Amino acid sequence: MDWPIVPISNLCKTGSGGTPSRSKIDKYYGGHIPWIKSGELYSDIITSAEEFITDDAVAESSAKLIPSGAILVAMYGATVGQTSMGVSHFRENMIGGRIEELARRHLIMTPQDQERLEACSAEIAEILYRNSAPEGLESLAGIEQTVRQQMLVEVSPRVALFLSTNKHLQAEDVAAD
């Protein structure tokens, strides 16, 4: 298949951040906002950070807030070119105090729902593992195919049934707001 060659800016929003001044450690570091360094981009998904910065660091430096699910690309150092996705624990920090309002409007999950979903996903992964043929777990492609098949057969129909039989509840919640 021929894919068109287009500037990345036609496909997504791009940007770069920066390092808050290390000379202002007391003011800029030790806050609640995860700050990811290029050296931390060694796995496909980033769910925690080695360092945290303050609101002042974001307001007064070139550090940027990014949304959960953003693709991070290392631009410098030994991990240059490595990509990771920032998820999970970044969610609350990236949208600040609007989290409960957005959750009520069903635009994002609350941290409590996200935590519960992660716990349930871990349980589902264990069940799928126990019910997978060993040869289906020998390669990443095999794992992907095995999980996709089990999800389509075992999980998706149950989720679809639940959503279709309970869609009126969400409409009622939105109307109540």
| 3-class secondary-structure state, position 83 | strand
C-alpha dihedral sign at 130, 132, 135, 137: negative
Q: Is residue 62 a contact partner of residue 18, using CB atoms and an 8 Å limit?
A: yes
pLDDT in tens, 29-71: 998 888 888 888 877 777 778 888 898 998 999 888 877 777 8
Strands in the chain per DSSP E: 29-35, 45-46, 51-53, 71-73, 83-86
Q: Where are the alpha helices (DSSP H) in 75-155?
A: 90-95, 99-104, 111-130, 140-150
Whether pLDDT at 97 is above 70: no
Other CB atoms within 10 A of residue 29 CB: 16
pLDDT in tens, 83-96: 887 764 443 333 33
Q: What superfamily would CATH give domain 8-98?
A: DNA methylase specificity domains (3.90.220.20)
Bridging pattern class, strands 51-53 and 45-46: unpaired
Whether pLDDT at 114 is above 60: yes
